[in-house]
Amino acid sequence: MKSLKDYLYYQDDWSTIYLGDCRDILPMLEPVDLVLTDPPYGINHPTDYNTRGRGKLAICNDYPKVYGDNEKFNPEFVLVYPSVLWGANYYSSRLPDTSGWLVWDKERPDNLDQSTCELAWTNFVKGVRRFRFMWNGMIRKGNEPLWHPTQKPVELMQWVLTLPWTPQGCVIDPYMGSGSTLIAAKNLNRKSIGIEIEEKYCAIAVKRLRQEVFDFRRAK
């Protein structure tokens, strides 16, 4: 039987990354203060953006399929924690009722065939809260490279971490992807844990964490 050390991929003063299935690893961890994640929604989302013609609108790439997106997502195992779960409109029937939802307004034209907003379920935020941040292929705020087909901007995760209702302490992203949540936490001097089942994204997250330069303006 594997121990927690067997899954350890990377660790520094602020961030810890485990390589493996979060359903195996999460029960081994000490209790964390917050789950902030963008799990696979269970919609078999097409990730061949360029092949399907999105490249006509903005420069984009084809990506491998999101691991686990061919199965219905069951959020039950994280609901014991204060949680923010992106994409929850796709699996809302498996979540408790809540008045707290987060809206990410991507500031995209309404006539696109892509979503103009994304939603997150939360069990601690009061009311519906909105964050505006342009994210439309190459037409987006900031200079953050795209590494993952469903990548969330660091600024979005940082906004969540600075909401007045968000618990302090260690944050965990059990579907880490390319590491945006961990970078956001590091920028705010918060410890974080990421779990990712695909090693290539663990490597990308480590690279991003090592290159990240703290920006005091973003921490305000």
Q: pLDDT > 70: what percent of the chain?
A: 88
Q: Residue 183 in contact with residue 209, Cβ under 8 Å?
A: yes
What percent of the chain is predicted at pLDDT more than 90?
A: 68
> pLDDT category, 213, cuts 50, 70, 90?
very low
**Residue 127 confidence class, pLDDT cut points 50, 70, 90:** very high
Give pTM, 2 decimals.
0.88
* Residue ranges per structural domain of the chain: 33-189
> Residue 58: its pLDDT value, please?
52
User: Strand, coil or helix: what is 215?
Assistant: coil
As a whole number, mean pLDDT of residues 140-159 equals 87
Q: Are 68 and 196 in contact (CB under 8 A)?
A: no
Give the pLDDT score at 115: 87
Helix or strand (DSSP H, E) at 186: helix 180-187
∠ Cα 120 123 127 (to 5°): 70
CA neighbours within 13 Å on the CB side: how many for 215? 10
What pLDDT sits at residue 53? 60
